[in-house]
Amino acid sequence: MKSYDAHHLRNVAILGHAGSGKTSLAECMLYESEEIPRRGSIEERTTTSDFHEIEHERQASVFASPLVAEWRDYKINIIDTPGYADYIGEVVSSMRVVDTSIMVVAANHGVEVGTEALWKYTERFRTPVMFVVNKVDHEHADFWRSVDQIHDRFGREAVVVQYPLVQGAGFNTIVDVLTMTAYVFPPHGGKPEKMAIPEQELERANRLHNELVEIVAENDETLMDHYLERGNLDVEEMRQGLTLSLIKRQIFPIFCVSAKLDMGAGRIMSFIDIVVPAPVEMPAVATMGGTMLTADPTGKPCIFVYRSSSEANTGDMSYFRVYSGTITHGMDLVNEQTGVTERIGQLYVMNGKKRIEVPQLEAGDLGATVKLKNTHVNNTLHEKGLNLVLPAIDFPAPKVRTAVVLAKNGEEDKLGMALHHLQEEDPTLIVEHAADLHQIILHGQGDMHLQAAKHRLASRFKLDVNFVPARIPYQETIRRSINTEYRHKKQTGGAGQFAEVHMRVEPYVEGMGAPEQLQVRGTEVHDLPWGGKLVYCNCIVGGVIDQRFMPAILKGVMEKMQEGPITGSHVRDIRVSVFDGKMHPVDSSEAAFKTAGRMAFKEAFIKADPMLLEPIYTVDITVPEELTGDVMSDLPLRRGMIEGVDVEGHYQRIKVLMPLAELDTYATVLRSMTQGRASYTSAFSVYQQVPSQLQQKLHADYVAHAQEEA
């Protein structure tokens, strides 16, 4: 494949609700541009884009697939993205490096939840958008209803460029009101015959044509002048005007296709070539230091890595966009984040699992190379001597979690490495080695996302794992002050153990006074790694406990703070004052005092009105108006505390505080309650008291399992 410059490159991402036909459309584009000899289908599991086993099993895309089509004098880089919200990470990283979004809407369903969610991302990334209404051959296709919904949800800037002459089974003609031509397709699709628009359609076609011309003219003063003078715009003026309006998001043209019948993809590619902005026409990209990068092939070489993958088919690859300069095989580039110099080996463009070697990649292009050793997603690489960092992709925070356990022991190291790999490839998958919970926890975007990770562990890394519920990181504290004494005495064979400790255990609050009626000789304040404090006061008088045993007592207390008496959870916000005790001239030792310290603390804690705390999250739920009532009335059942409701277009946003214990199942609950039409984000907020009944139950469970000996 030859090298293309930034005037002859186009970068598009195909977006849309799951099942709208993105992968099928991409397949048509590859087939029509003769990139592939045969058109694959979802049903036969033969598309270029969905080549992973899991995608075949599910008959749906899981990964974003970089593809490439050469159409006339242009190279179109296409990233086919998955539609399910669970794989949003793949969409976000793709959108970061393309210029234009193609939003596919299925004519039989119209605007769906996914369409709306993805629309928000096009706003965030400020990409031009083309709508493609697919499946106009479908028996329930309603192109005009889809257009109405697009207008309603995304504004009047969405304008019809094409419409089907007849929908459903009889579909074979597209009326194009930009070229004012009817494209009539042969029964098996492909190349259409250009015909005059039928007489009876002319009125509608002319009206739509004029609407299109007017909106283009409105967006540019010079064009408006010409339009007013002549009552029309010539072809070149229309092209210029459309490109400018697309860039400024003042127009969202609507096209129609049947990907199933291969009717319409060619015309979409021609529009992409001629009208959709080239990388050079897009606004310059600012680096973190404020340097502006334009798609200049003679500029300083600079690339940004947006994706990394490890495939049996292709090997490990790093995917990047060239933001400036020209990248050639064998070039040395400095990774600004890791400081390492990487030699770029072979350069490729990808068509699904097929790698096509290219001699060079110019500014504005997308490409791949064999995985660079010390380079990760979000890294910027550039020529030596520069100092450029492109802004990182802002991946959405995880929504669900599960604990991972190996089906068989002995593969712990392998699992650790495999999980590291998965996280490297997919930054929306977060691996947490939760030492306090004794679990490895996987955080992801949804159940399907986690299941895909499990599938990948099995297929790519030959690791069999099970998912079990993630434990809740409860915390324990007390509400009352208690004095206690504990004597540890043991005679085992010759040597004995002896230590007696008297301590006061109190709830710690910021700014509290010194321990009453005790003489404080020293105070240590320990910030606990899990939050909260332990304050340790030495109140020993007359040397009843030797100074050298004081740290041992603290150690014992700390041991119990790590694994609290109520549920084995971390303990926080405690003041311990050791004020009396006894030693034995021979049998006292650090070990004995440590045990005495631990046991004294435990006994005091249990008597000091202990309280269990649980993590509470702020949950921000977005739900279609008509479902708000259902969602709101369900929240109290999940111990949700509603904080407020806001209106956002056709949606309502409910802000609610919810315990993590409930949130863990909420993704599934909300999906089934709203057929997937609601979504949420969540973030840790505070620790709050667990209801006493639940505390009693958790304590009983813990006591039944835990055994402790002094």
Ligand X SMILES: Nc1nc2c(ncn2[C@@H]2O[C@H](COP(=O)(O)OP(=O)(O)O)[C@@H](O)[C@H]2O)c(=O)[nH]1
Buried b (16+ CB within 10 A) or exposed e, 86-108: bbbbbbbbbbbbbbbbbbbbbbb
Residue 11 interacts with ligand X (CB under 6 A): yes or no: no
d(CA 425, CA 377): 8
Which residues, numbered 53-92, are part of the site for ligand X (CB under 6 A)? Answer: 60-61, 83
Nearer to Mg ion, 98 or 558 (CB): 98
Residue 679 interacts with ligand X (CB under 6 A): yes or no: no
Q: To the nearest whole angstrom, how small is the minimum distance from the Cβ of residue 43 to ligand X? A: 6
Residue 24 interacts with ligand X (CB under 6 A): yes or no: yes
What is the C-alpha radius of gyration for the chain, rounded to an integer number of angstroms? Answer: 32
394 SS3 class = coil
Nearer to Mg ion, 42 or 658 (CB): 42
Strands (E), 239-337: 252-256, 285-286, 292-293, 302-311, 315-324, 326-328, 332-335
- Stretch touching Mg ion by CB under 5 A, among 22-30, 376-384, 530-538, 615-623: 22-30
Q: To the nearest whole angstrom, how small is the minimum distance from the Cβ of residue 59 to ligand X? A: 7
Q: To the nearest whole angstrom, how small is the minimum distance from the Cβ of residue 204 to ligand X? A: 23
Question: From the list Mg ion, ligand X, none, which binds 139 (C-beta under 5 to 8 Å, kind-based)?
Answer: none
Question: Rounded to the nearest 5 degrees, what angle is found at the Cα of 124, between the Cα atoms of 213 and 621?
Answer: 120
- Stretch touching ligand X by CB under 6 A, among 36-44, 121-129, 488-496, 666-674: 36-44
Residue 170 contacts by C-beta under 8 Å, 6 or more apart in sequence?
Answer: none
Enumerate long-range contacts of 560-565, CB under 8 Å, 24 or more apart. Answer: 560/598, 560/601, 560/602, 560/605, 561/528, 561/534, 561/601, 562/436, 564/475, 564/476, 564/605, 565/476, 565/602, 565/605, 565/606, 565/610
Residue 24 interacts with Mg ion (CB under 5 A): yes or no: no
- Stretch touching ligand X by CB under 6 A, among 35-43, 426-434, 508-516, 683-691: 35-43
Q: To the nearest whole angstrom, how small is the minimum distance from the Cβ of residue 146 to ligand X? A: 13
**Residue from the set 147, 233, 254, 259 that interacts with ligand X by CB under 6 A:** 259
Residue 101 interacts with ligand X (CB under 6 A): yes or no: no
406 SS3 class = strand
Q: Residues 618, 623, 628, 630: is their CA dihedral positive or negative?
A: negative
Nearer to ligand X, 45 or 300 (CB): 45
**Residue from the set 260, 267, 382, 572 that interacts with ligand X by CB under 6 A:** 260
Which residues, numbered 132-151, are part of the site for ligand X (CB under 6 A)? Answer: 134-135, 137-138
- Give the closest residue to 228 by CA, choosing from 245, 214, 249, 240: 214
- Stretch touching Mg ion by CB under 5 A, among 57-65, 508-516, 533-541, 601-609: 57-65
Size of the site for ligand X (CB under 6 A): 21
Question: From the list Mg ion, ligand X, none, which binds 24 (C-beta under 5 to 8 Å, kind-based)?
Answer: ligand X
Residue 23 interacts with Mg ion (CB under 5 A): yes or no: yes
**Residue from the set 4, 13, 19, 613 that interacts with ligand X by CB under 6 A:** 19
Q: To the nearest whole angstrom, how small is the minimum distance from the Cβ of residue 90 to ligand X? A: 12
Q: To the nearest whole angstrom, how small is the minimum distance from the Cβ of residue 50 to Mg ion? A: 6
User: Which is it for strands 610-624 and 679-689: parallel, antiparallel or unpaired?
Assistant: antiparallel
Instruction: Let me know: does 175 contact 254? Beta carbons within 8 Å.
Output: no
Which spans of this chain sit near ligand X (rule: CB under 6 A)? 16, 18-24, 41-43, 60-61, 83, 134-135, 137-138, 258-260
Which spans of this chain sit near Mg ion (rule: CB under 5 A)? 22-23, 61
